[in-house]
Amino acid sequence: MSPTSVTDRTRPGPVLPGQQIPPGTPTGHMVICGGDALAHRLALELARLYGQRVTVVLPSLRQGHGPQIAALAADGRLAVTVVEAADLNHATLAAVGIRNAVALALTSEDDQANIHAGLRARRINPGLRLVIRVYNRRLGRRVEQLLDRAADVRRPGLSPAAPGASTTILSPSSTAAPALVAAALSGRSHVVHVDGRLLRVAEVEPGRQPGESEIATLALPAGPGRLEVSDELLPDPDSIAPEAGRVVLELLGQARQPHRRPIRLPGVSGVPLAALFSSRLRWALAGLAGLVALLAGLTSALTGQSPLHAAWLAVLDVLGIADPATDDGPGRKLLQILAAVSGMLLMPLLIALALEALGTFRTASGLRRPPRGLSGHVIVVGLGRVGSRVLDRLWELDVPIVCVDSDPTARGVARARAYGIPVVIGDATQDGVLEAAKIGRSTALITLTSNDNTNVETVLYARECNPEVRVVLRLFDDDLAGDIYRALRDSYPQAETRSRSVSFLAAPSFASAMMGREVLGAIAVGRRVLLVAAVEVAGNPDLAGRTVAETHRPGLWRVLAVALGDQGEPRWNPPPDQVLAEGDRLVVVATRAGLGQLLSSEDAQD
């Protein structure tokens, strides 16, 4: 393997593994290991919004997002260093100055590689702040506890919650899923869980007076009923006309765990009894039962026997096990002959019932097809990591869903089968696939494949089939996302279009965790994102000693709640004249630039 080289635009010449870090190496920098879209977006946010010095370690400068990350290093306005390394071994981590780093983010899609690199980095620097990308949430929780214990062992007395030696496990798909679902379910409330409370995003019609539950105005639509790119975010409350429409944040009650419907086990438990047999077989069985009942009634009338005994004789005659009616009259003999003829129909009917039931059971253990009368559903195209998380979220909300994927072994196909959700296997860009998913009667389409071309082609084809369908497409290329969004908006003005990037939605949570804070939620407004975050007042000149009204910065941030230093419960929608003290903790809603400016001001005083 070729030696790892560290190219630093601020220091000439390479540093080879095994060499001592030069005395002049900067301290307090942040390291990102990864060459994907998340690593690129994270480096951009840390360098541009937070003003941090960032070192990016990536496997190749020519593949993936290597060229985009290299462009950040070439930008003289950003303090970004790029490192090309084939392996995140001990020597590589030491060479990039992990011992002197403040935080490390591991953004690879390989959970095992990320965990292994995190363990190595923790041994080199026990006080390092770790942010690790892990898809498996159960594994992530256990790894988080393991790494925090390792920090305790190597640095006795340091609490895992203390700034410096913390471990945060994040999943971009889990972080982005709520915003993707909210974009698809327009008209349904977007709910954010914050400190045990529910915050709901709602659109207020023009002319409606503010309600008691409203705690902030998030945006003023540029046009009636539509949130466009030109929306004014976090406007000045004094400048909002009472008759204007607006997007607001409402405070609801205590948060409860989402109601989870029982998962359907493949097989018997998910099969309705009526679905076991076709209607024709059910009618045939009902006709045979009616014929037996008729024979039983006639037998009772001719022989004078009780109805129960007559029914017993009729069943025996049908099954061919009764004695010949030699001593009875002609009527009874004729009924016995008719019963024997009816019994000849019984055997093929039973065989047909058994075969059809067997076929139904086999189908039930496989994939369901969309029902004929299905309408008002959401179509999810792509059942990879992100698609699986979106599927979970929609299922928890009890939204009718149809899934589409070209790979029958995709990660989310088994999950859809367990949930009893219909799945269409096929390429969504091919004729007939979206039609099989009932695109003509669906309300929304979410395309979440890992290929931009596939997502764009799927959306264009869907709009041809259903011009009014609401579409949400995942795109990695930000420039392409903007162009596609504007083109679809102009071509189909009556329909809603949202383009989303998972890395764009997830990067704020990763960046905030590296800064030692926590982003509590993300709210999608148009193509932009507002962040709900916790901020300390101490040492921040924009907050300390000011009233709540004075801290508000239109277009940047707004205070939602204040937790006093000696009280744990935050006070939501605090009075405008309340003065913020050093020990207070705030919950704010902010733009990405606003949160970066707010936290940078705090760090400048540390």
Q: pLDDT tens digits, residue range 339-379?
A: 766 666 666 766 776 666 665 555 444 567 788 888 999 99
pLDDT confidence of residue 50: 81
pLDDT confidence of residue 159: 39
pLDDT at 259 over 80: no
Among residues of the chain, what percentage have pLDDT more than 70?
A: 74
Residue 157 burial (C-beta neighbours within 10 Å; 0-12, 13-18, 19+): exposed
Residue-wise pLDDT tens digits, 303-314: 777 888 777 777
Longest dimension (CA), the chain: 119
Residue-wise pLDDT tens digits, 532-549: 888 888 888 889 899 999
pLDDT average, residue stretch 235-259: 69
Half-sphere exposure of 469 (CA within 13 A, CB side): 30
pLDDT confidence of residue 20: 42
Residue-wise pLDDT tens digits, 38-93: 999 999 989 988 888 999 999 999 988 899 999 999 988 899 999 999 889 999 99
- Give dist(CA 42, CA 131) in Å, integer: 12
pLDDT confidence of residue 10: 34
Query: For 490, phi and psi rounded to 5 degrees?
Result: -75, -35
Query: Which DSSP state fits 49?
Result: I
Interacting residues of 318 by C-beta distance below 8 A, sequence separation 6+: 292, 295, 339, 340, 342, 343, 346
Number of helices followed by number of strands (H, E) in the chain:
17, 23
CA of 62: how far to CAs of 15, 36, 69, 70, in Å? Answer: 21, 12, 10, 9
pLDDT average, residue stretch 470-483: 80
Q: Please name the residue ranges forming H helices in 261-278.
A: none
Among residues of the chain, what percentage have pLDDT more than 90?
A: 24
pLDDT confidence of residue 458: 94
- Give dist(CA 131, CA 105) in Å, integer: 5
pLDDT confidence of residue 190: 66
pLDDT confidence of residue 255: 47
pLDDT confidence of residue 333: 66
**Bigger pLDDT: 263 or 492?**
492
- Give dist(CA 395, CA 261) in Å, integer: 8
pLDDT confidence of residue 2: 36
Inter-axis angle of helices 592-604 and 502-514, to 10 degrees?
A: 10
pLDDT confidence of residue 387: 92
**Bigger pLDDT: 88 or 598?**
88
Query: Hey, which of 14-18, 105-109, 228-232 has the most confident mean pLDDT?
Result: 105-109
pLDDT at 279 over 80: no
pLDDT confidence of residue 433: 93
pLDDT at 565 over 80: no
Which pair of structure tokens corresponds to residue 168?
A: 């945060």
DSSP string over 489-512: HHH-TTS-EEEE-HHHHHHHHHHH
pLDDT-wise least confident of 39-48, 242-251, 345-354, 492-501: 345-354
pLDDT confidence of residue 70: 93
pLDDT at 113 over 50: yes
Do 215 and 251 form a contact (C-beta atoms < 8 A)? yes
Cβ-count burial 34-60 (b if 16+ within 10 Å, e if not) = bbbbbbbbbbbbbbbbbebbbbbbbbe
**Bigger pLDDT: 204 or 134?**
134
The region that residue 293 occupies, defined by phi over 0 for left and psi between -120 and 50 for alpha, beta otherwise, is alpha
pLDDT confidence of residue 277: 54
- Give dist(CA 244, CA 23) in Å, integer: 60
Q: Band of the pLDDT at 104, cuts 50, 70, 90? A: very high
Q: Please name the residue ranges forming H helices in 156-306.
A: 172-184, 279-303
DSSP E strands: which ranges in 298-385? Answer: 378-381
Q: Band of the pLDDT at 475, cuts 50, 70, 90? A: confident
Do 341 and 406 form a contact (C-beta atoms < 8 A)? no
pLDDT at 488 over 90: no
Of residues 217, 143, 184, 259, the one with CA closest to residue 471: 184
CB atoms within 10 A of CB 149: 12
**Bigger pLDDT: 558 or 330?**
558
CA of 530: how far to CAs of 191, 299, 562, in Å? Answer: 13, 80, 19
DSSP helix/strand/coil, 372: coil
Q: Band of the pLDDT at 30, cuts 50, 70, 90? A: very high
- Give dist(CA 351, CA 397) in Å, integer: 42
Query: For 471, phi and psi rounded to 5 degrees?
Result: -120, 140
- Give dist(CA 383, CA 389) in Å, integer: 9
pLDDT confidence of residue 138: 84
pLDDT confidence of residue 24: 44
Q: What is the pTM of this model?
A: 0.68
Query: For 434, phi and psi rounded to 5 degrees?
Result: -65, -30
Do 416 and 437 form a contact (C-beta atoms < 8 A)? no
pLDDT confidence of residue 43: 94
Cα 423 → chain centroid: 18
pLDDT confidence of residue 239: 74
Mean pLDDT computed over every residue of the chain = 78
pLDDT confidence of residue 527: 65
Residue-wise pLDDT tens digits, 140-174: 888 888 887 766 665 544 433 334 557 888 888 88
pLDDT average, residue stretch 382-395: 91
CA of 519: how far to CAs of 118, 168, 280, 515, 588, in Å? Answer: 22, 12, 58, 11, 10
- Give dist(CA 191, CA 253) in Å, integer: 12
Q: Band of the pLDDT at 393, cuts 50, 70, 90? A: confident
